[in-house]
Every structure is written in structure tokens, then in C-alpha cells.
């Protein structure tokens, strides 16, 4: 097992890329795993991001392990704040890159207008539960959705059940009960998803398109945006449930503290 230090990390400023990247299976075959971490005045959920990344590296036989101390060193050394930090790891590379946060107050107020994608995410894929460089199908689906005026698109598994969006986990409220697709449906175990499951009465379930369209409210979560309600699915407006505001308020209050 190899524990990288700050000197091992290739740090990329997307406005000034001049770095040496080793060509390995991470870049020839997509065996590259990453985390995208919200940085405010500190890293949010660092322990959870590091644990998930290391789990992926171990499962796919990559002999590197990232530490919380390394991420904190990156934040301190490059004086990072109020941005997204992406840490990608393959057999021979540890690459850190940063980008701006793009979610506006208007987006949270308006809510996400999503479409149903024709892309199928098979629950049996060994990669579907990991954040890997094998994101091509999701990126193409998201580009198609945005080209047609949507904010995101929802995916289905081989059984025709909803799993997640291209960039977020899905939750619905049905008859006063919070539901989210179970991991075995082919779902990424999201960091915010896990936090909400630990702190709210949420049932992991099988969710159909009809469940979504008939629900009392729905929302998406990921590490950068936190939580946003779904306002519309294709041409169908969704109801807004006050439980969404309650959960969002508690979540955003929590991440402003050390967790």
C-alpha cells in the first residue's frame, strides 16, 4: 500500500495546465477513481469522501490510499476556499483540480427541471457504485438534457426503475414517507445521501416513474449543491412538500459546522 504525500500530488489549475501525468490504466481504461469535495472555509465531509475513495481503490486493486491529512494539506498549501476540489487517483497518479461553484440562489428557489433519460444504468455493473472515470454515458446524457433546456436527467436500471440522476441521488416523499432508491438498484452511495439516511427516517426502496410523478415532493442531493427540490419532470410539475424545506434547512445548517 502506498500513502501519497503532498509532493506526489499533481495540482491542476484549469486556467493554467502544465503538469506531467503518467499514462496508466486510469487513463487508458478508465480505472481512475475520484471524489469531488465542497470546500468552504474547510473541507466538508472529508472523512466520508476519503473513506469512499479508498474503498474504491481497494476494491479495484489500486495500491494507493488517500488520507484526510493529504486533503487538508492541499487546502492549506493552495489556500483553497469556496470552490470544488476534485481528487482523482489511479495506479500511478494522484491529481487534484479545482473549479468554481456554479449553483446559484435562483437555482435553489426555482428547483431542478429534469427529464427522464433513455440511458440505462445496469445494476450489475461493478462500476456503477463507484465514482470512476467511466462517466461517458452520464456526461452525454447530461449534455443532451441541458441542450434541451433541462437541469439534469434521471436514469433507470435494467428493470425500468429509477436509480439517480447524472450527478445526484434521488429522494421522493410519498404519503409522508421519505424514500430513496436502494444501493442494489445500481446507485452511487452518495455522501449527502448517507448523511440524510443517518439523520432522517428514510426508507431505501424501489422507485418507479409513476411513484415520482405521483409523489408529494422530490429532491436531489450531491456534495456540491447539497439539496435542491425537483420542480418538474419533463412537462409534469411536481408538488412541493414542506418536508423538503425542513431537511434542506437542517442540512445546510449542519455543514456550516464541523461534522
Domains detected in the chain: 6-99 (3.30.470.10), 105-255 (3.20.10.10)
CA distance readout (Å), 96 to 1, 36, 55, 130, 136: 20, 10, 19, 18, 20
Q: Which of 34, 38, 26, 165 is nearest to 99 (CA)?
A: 38
CA pair distance 14, 16, nearest whole angstrom:
6
- Lookup: cell for 151: 437541469
The pLDDT assigned to 3 comes to 87
pTM above 0.85, yes or no: yes
Q: What is the pLDDT of residues 35-67, one digit of tens each?
A: 999 999 999 999 999 999 999 999 999 999 999
Q: What is the pLDDT of residues 81-114, one digit of tens each?
A: 999 999 999 998 999 999 999 999 999 999 999 9
Within 10 A of 5 (CB to CB), how many other CB atoms are there?
11
- Helix 68-77, helix 46-59: angle, nearest 10: 120
Q: What is the pLDDT of residues 204-239, one digit of tens each?
A: 999 999 999 999 999 999 999 999 999 999 999 999
Amino acid at each position: 500500500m502506498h500513502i501519497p504525500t503532498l509532493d506526489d500530488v499533481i495540482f491542476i489549475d484549469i486556467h493554467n495546465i502544465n503538469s506531467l501525468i503518467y499514462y496508466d490504466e486510469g487513463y487508458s481504461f478508465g480505472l481512475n477513481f475520484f471524489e469531488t469535495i465542497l470546500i468552504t472555509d474547510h473541507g466538508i465531509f472529508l472523512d466520508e469522501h476519503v473513506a469512499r475513495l479508498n474503498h474504491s481503490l481497494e476494491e479495484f486493486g489500486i495500491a494507493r490510499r488517500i488520507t484526510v491529512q493529504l486533503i487538508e494539506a492541499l487546502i492549506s498549501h493552495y489556500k483553497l476556499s469556496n470552490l470544488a476540489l476534485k481528487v482523482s487517483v489511479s495506479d500511478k497518479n494522484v491529481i487534484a483540480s479545482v473549479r468554481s461553484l456554479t449553483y446559484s440562489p435562483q437555482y435553489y428557489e426555482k428547483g431542478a427541471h429534469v427529464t427522464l433519460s433513455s440511458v440505462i444504468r445496469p445494476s450489475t455493473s461493478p462500476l456503477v457504485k463507484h465514482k470512476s472515470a467511466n462517466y461517458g454515458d452520464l456526461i452525454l446524457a447530461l449534455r443532451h438534457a441541458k441542450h434541451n433546456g433541462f437541469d439534469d436527467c434521471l436514469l433507470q436500471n435494467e428493470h425500468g426503475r429509477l436509480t439517480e440522476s447524472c450527478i445526484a441521488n434521488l429522494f421522493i416523499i410519498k404519503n409522508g414517507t421519505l424514500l430513496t432508491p436502494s444501493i442494489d438498484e445500481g446507485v452511487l452511495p452518495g455522501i449527502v445521501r448517507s448523511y440524510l439516511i443517518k439523520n432522517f427516517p428514510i426508507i431505501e426502496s424501489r422507485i418507479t416513474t409513476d411513484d415520482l410523478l405521483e409523489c408529494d415532493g422530490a429532491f436531489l442531493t450531491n456534495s456540491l449543491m447539497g439539496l435542491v427540490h425537483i420542480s418538474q419532470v419533463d412537462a409534469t410539475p411536481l408538488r412541493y412538500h414542506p418536508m423538503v424545506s425542513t431537511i434542506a434547512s437542517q442540512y445546510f445548517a449542519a455543514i456550516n459546522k464541523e461534522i
